[in-house]
Amino acid sequence: LFGTTLLLLVFSLARATEEDLQAEDGDDNKLHDKRSLEGHVGLVGYGGGYGGYGGYGGVGLISEHVAVEKHVPVVHYKGVPVAVPHPVAVPVHVPVHVPHPYAVPVKVPVPVVKTVPVPVEKPVPYPVEKPYPVEIIKKVPYPVVKPYPVPVPIYKTKYIHHHKEVVYPKHYHHHGWW
């Protein structure tokens, strides 16, 4: 609500400024007719172009132009000094010197064919094991290494203290196998 009121206020000020310009222009009503947004389906507001109560009802947010809008340059305002560009003749020396065309070296990608030596696999003599007839004479037991329990001695933990009295612990350290 506050935003709509603020926009209506801004557009009404713009409309008042335009009416002041029309009053300063005097009989130049064509300028006002070209710049007026009356008859446009609502910009922001109730109806007309600048938030007036004209034409169509309802709040519109997008201006749908009925007529072609023409922009008038600022130069047409009276009493406003504006720098206007004037066409100036540029001197052209006749005849115009045109350099003769010459060949420009442009690098073009050309397919290059090269002979590359490819290593070829040579036949290598591979030793082939041929099965020979074997006769079993005698079966001999062959010793196979197997894991077996190893007795571990019991060690006493010794603590080194740098004072006069040496205290030994009362427990024994072992590996926990028994």
Give Dmax (Cα) for the chain: 139
- Residue 136 counted as domain residue: no
Mean pLDDT taken over the chain: 65
Q: How many domains does the chain have?
A: 1
- Residue 47 counted as domain residue: yes
The reported pTM is: 0.13
Range of the domain at 47: 2-76
- Residue 135 counted as domain residue: no
Q: Is the pLDDT of residue 128 over 80?
A: no
- Residue 101 counted as domain residue: no
- Residue 11 counted as domain residue: yes
- Residue 24 counted as domain residue: yes
Gyration radius (Cα) of the chain, Å? 54
> Please, which pLDDT band fits residue 5 given cuts at 50, 70 and 90?
confident
CA distance 170 to 107: 93
- Residue 163 counted as domain residue: no
Kindly report, residue by residue over 48-57, the tens digit of the pLDDT: 444 444 445 4
CA distance 132 to 25: 126
DSSP state of 28: -
- Residue 44 counted as domain residue: yes
Kindly report, residue by residue over 137-177, the tens digit of the pLDDT: 777 776 666 666 666 666 666 666 666 666 666 665 655 55
Query: pLDDT: is 39 or 127 the higher one?
Result: 127
Looking at the chain, list the stretches that DSSP marks H as alpha helix, in order from N- to C-terminal side. Answer: 2-25, 29-35
> Please, which pLDDT band fits residue 112 given cuts at 50, 70 and 90?
confident
Q: Which of 50-54, 69-73, 90-94 has the highest mean pLDDT?
A: 90-94
Q: Is the pLDDT of residue 127 over 50?
A: yes
Q: Is the pLDDT of residue 111 over 70?
A: yes
Number of Cβ within 10 Å of residue 77's Cβ equals 14
The Cα-based distances of 156 to 48, 50, 67, 81 in angstroms read 107, 104, 111, 112
